Amino acid sequence: MATNKLFGSKMRFIGVFFLMMICTFSANAQFLRTSYFMEGTHYRQQLNPALAPTKGYFNLPIVGAFNVSVGSTTFGYQDIMDIIDDGNDFYTKPDFLNRLKDNNKLNVNLSTEILSAGWYSGKNFWSFNVGLRTDIGANLTRNMFTFLNEMETLEDNWRNSAYNISGQQVNVQAYTEIGVGLSREINDRLTVGGRVKALLGIGNLDLKLNRIAMDANLPTEAIIADWQGKLESGTATPADIQMMQNELKNYHANLNVAAELKTSFKGLNLVEREENEQRYVEDIEFESGDMGIAGYGFGIDLGASYKILDNLTVSASILDLGFISWSKGATQIASAQPEAINIQGETYANMIDANNPQSALDAVNSLQNEANKYMNYVTEGDILNYEMLGLTVDEGNEESRKSRLASTLVLGAEYGLFNNKLAFGVLSTTRFVQPEAMTELTLSANYRPKSWFNVALSYSAIQSAGKSFGLGLKVGPLFIGTDYMFLGKNSNSVNGFLGISVPLGGKKI
C-alpha cells in the first residue's frame, strides 16, 4: 500500500466541505412552485411549458429570473451556524449529533436567465431563453460524524473500535441552456406546450466513497512497553514469552477502502505524483482561465393543461428529459481500491520461539510498527487533499461520459372562483435528483385580479417538514417569491426567487 494517508481526525473536513459547499452556493429546484397558479406571471412556464402567461415579456439579464435554494432532510440553519461558530468542533456537539439521521441528504440549486423573452403569435405563445443551471446533491451518513466525534473525543479509541463510514457521495452538474418553447391552445379546453433545449456542459463531478470500513483490537502502549521492557532487560521467562505469544493471537486491525472520482471540467486539473509506477492524485487545482465547454447535450420539456369544468383545470408536465455527453478531453477518472490493511496477531505470534527472547522482541516491535501505521491512517490526514484518499489515476480509462438531467414530474389541479380571479390549487412535484429523488406537495391560494398584480400564498409540507410557507407577489414588472420562507434556526429548506421583466406585445387573445 502506498504511503498515502487515508483518513483521520482531519476527515472532519469532508463534512465541512459538503456543508460549506451548500453555504457557498446557497442554492432543490430550478423553479418556484408558488408561481404555478399565478396566471399573470410567465415564470410558471418553468414548471409547465403549456401554461402561457397573459402577456408577452422580456426578462432583464441575470435578474430577470434568478432562483437560489437549499434543501436538506436534516441540516438546518442552526447546523450552518454551529459550523461557523464552532469551526472544526461542530460535530462534537450533542445537539448536532442528535439531529442527524442515518442518511442525511443535501440538494442545492442555482439558476438564472441570462436572456429570455416570450410573445404571442395568434394562439401560439413562443418563448426563448439562455440560462445557467447548477445542481448539487450530497449524502452524508450519521456513522461518519460519529466516527469523527469519537476519534476526536475518546483517547486511543482507534485501538479498540469498529466503524463503517461507507456511502458518502457528492454530485455536481453545471451547464448552460439554450431553449425554444411553444404553447398552443388546441381548443377552449386543451392547451399543450413544449420546449427543446440545447445544452452546453460546463462541468460534472461525481465523488463516491463506496467503502470505508475499519475494525481494530490492538494492545495499548502500556502493554507494549511492558513487554519490551521485560524482553530488553532479559527478565522475561519462557513462560512470560508464551503468555505474550498467546495474547498476540487475539489482536487484529483491518482497514478496507474503495472510492471513485469522475470529473468532466475544463480548467479542473488533477495534480499527480508518480510512486511505484502509479499516478496518485495529491491535489485538485482549478484554473478559471481555462474554463470552457466540456460537453454537449439535449433536453426537452413537455406539458399540457385541460379544463375538465369551467372552473376546474388539471395539468401535467415532465421537465428536463435529456442528457449531456462530456468530452473525452475534459474527463478525468481516478479510483481508490488499495490493498486492504490486514493486521493479524497470529502472524506475529508465529514469529516467536519461547526459548528465544529476541524473536519475541522482534515480533512485538513489528506489531507496534504496523499498529502505528494503522493509527496514522485512521487518525491523521486531510480529506480535502485527494492524495489522502489514495486515489490513483486510471490509466487508459480516459473516456467520454454521459450524465442525465435531473428530470421533474409535475401534476397540478386548480379550482377558480369569482370569474377565475381567485383560485385554489394543489401541486405535486417529484424531482429525480442525485442521490435520491425529492417529492413535494404544495397547496396554494391565488388572487389574480389583473395581469400586472398577482399574489399567492402556499404551503409545501414535505421538504420543510411542515415548518414553512411560501409567498409570491407580482406587481408590474417585479416578481418576488419563495416556497420556503425562512423562519429561524430549524429551517431545513429555504429559497428565494427574483424576477424583473418588461411587458412585450399585446394581451392574450
Between residues 421 and 105, the one the model is more confident about: 421
Strand 190-217 versus strand 124-141 pairing type: unpaired
Question: Does residue 90 surpass a pLDDT of 50?
Answer: yes
Of 324, 438, 429, residue with least CA distance to 28: 438
Region 162-183: mean pLDDT is 91
Using the structure block, give the residue that is written with the C-alpha cell 440553519. Answer: 77
Calculate the alpha carbon distances from 215 to 38, 256, 377 in Å.
57, 9, 13
Q: Which residues are bridge partners to 413 per DSSP?
A: 314, 426
Domain that holds residue 207: 9-26+40-59+76-400
**Is 363 in contact with 348 (CB distance < 8 Å)?**
yes
Q: How confident is the model at residue 84 (pLDDT cuts 50, 70, 90)?
A: low
Angle between helices 357-379 and 238-248 (to 10 degrees): 30
Cα dihedral 24, 28, 34, 37 in deg (nearest 10): 140
Helix or strand holding residue 440 (H, E): strand 438-450
- Is residue 288, in this structure, part of any structural domain at all? yes
For residues 146 and 105, is the Cβ–Cβ distance under 8 A? no
- Residue 27 Cα distances to 20, 69, 229, 494, 503, angstroms: 12, 4, 60, 9, 28
Higher pLDDT, 148 or 318: 318
Q: At what angle do helices 221-233 and 357-379 cross, to 10 degrees?
A: 160
Q: How high is the pLDDT of residue 278?
A: 75
Instruction: Give pLDDT, residue 12.
Output: 42
Q: Which residue has the higher pLDDT, 30 or 255?
A: 255
Q: What spatial distance separates the first Cα and last Cα of the chain, rounded to whole Å?
A: 73
What is residue 65's predicted lDDT score, i.e. its pLDDT? 84
Residue 397's CB is within 10 A of a number of other CB atoms, namely 12
pLDDT in tens, 429-458: 998 876 677 888 999 999 999 888 999 999
Confidence of residue 392 (pLDDT cuts 50, 70, 90): confident
Of residues 71 and 203, more confidently modeled: 203
Would you call 73 exposed, middle or buried from its count of C-beta atoms within 10 A (0-12, 13-18, 19+)? Answer: middle
444 sits in which H/E element: strand 438-450
Domain assignment present for residue 331? The answer is yes
Interval 187-204: pLDDT, tens: 999 999 999 999 999 999
Task: Tell me the DSSP string of 224-286.
Answer: HHHHHHHHHHT---HHHHHHHHHHHTT-EEEEEEEEEEEEEETTEEEEEEEETTEEEEEEEEE
pLDDT digits (tens, 9 = 90+) for 44-65: 999 999 999 888 999 988 777 8
| 3-state class (DSSP) for residue 176 | strand
> What would the pLDDT profile of 96-124 be if each residue is shown by its tens digit?
788 788 888 877 788 888 999 999 998 89
CA–CA distances in Å: residue 393 to residues 2, 211, 271:
14, 18, 10
Residue 490 within any structural domain of the chain: no
Q: Quickly count: other Cβ atoms within 10 Å of residue 266's Cβ.
A: 18
Q: At what angle do helices 238-248 and 221-233 cross, to 10 degrees?
A: 150
Average pLDDT over residues 202-218: 90
Portion of the chain with pLDDT greater than 90, in percent: 40
Q: How far apart are CA 468 and CA 459, in angstroms?
A: 7
Nearest residue to 212 (alpha-carbon basis) of 367, 437, 14: 14
Report which residue type is found at 117: A
User: What is the predicted pLDDT for the residue at 141?
Assistant: 85
- Domain assignment present for residue 473? The answer is no
229 part of a folded domain: yes
pTM of the model: 0.80
The model's confidence at residue 10, banded by pLDDT at 50, 70 and 90, is: very low
Helix (H, G, I), strand (E, B) or coil at 352: coil
* Band of residue 27 on the pLDDT scale cut at 50, 70, 90: very low
- Cα→Cα distances 165→93, 112, 169, 379, Å: 19, 36, 11, 14
Residue 122 lies in a domain: yes
Is the per-residue pLDDT at 25 higher than 50?
no
Q: How sure is the predictor about 334, in pLDDT bands with cuts at 50, 70 and 90?
A: confident
Domain count, the chain: 1
Q: Which of 232-241, 287-296, 388-397 has the lowest mean pLDDT?
A: 388-397
- Calculate the average pLDDT of the chain: 83
pLDDT category at 23 given cuts 50, 70, 90 is very low
212 domain residue, yes or no: yes
Residue 331 pLDDT > 60 = yes
Contact 277, 369 (CB under 8 A): no
- Flag whether pLDDT at 8 surpasses 60: no
pLDDT digits (tens, 9 = 90+) for 466-492: 777 899 999 989 999 999 887 766 667
Residue with cell 401534476: 411
* pLDDT at 11 (0 to 100): 42
Model confidence pLDDT, tens digit, residues 284-300: 777 777 788 999 999 99
CA neighbor of 337 nearest in space, from 180, 157, 166: 166
Percent share of the chain, pLDDT over 70: 85
- Tell me the residue ranges of DSSP E strands in 451-492: 453-460, 470-475, 478-482
* Tens-place pLDDT, residues 340-390: 789 999 999 999 998 899 999 999 999 999 998 888 777 754 444 454 567
Encode pLDDT of 136-162 as tens digits: 888 888 888 888 788 777 778 888 989
**Nearest alpha-carbon partner for 55 in 485, 502, 421:** 502
> Is residue 285 assigned to a domain?
yes
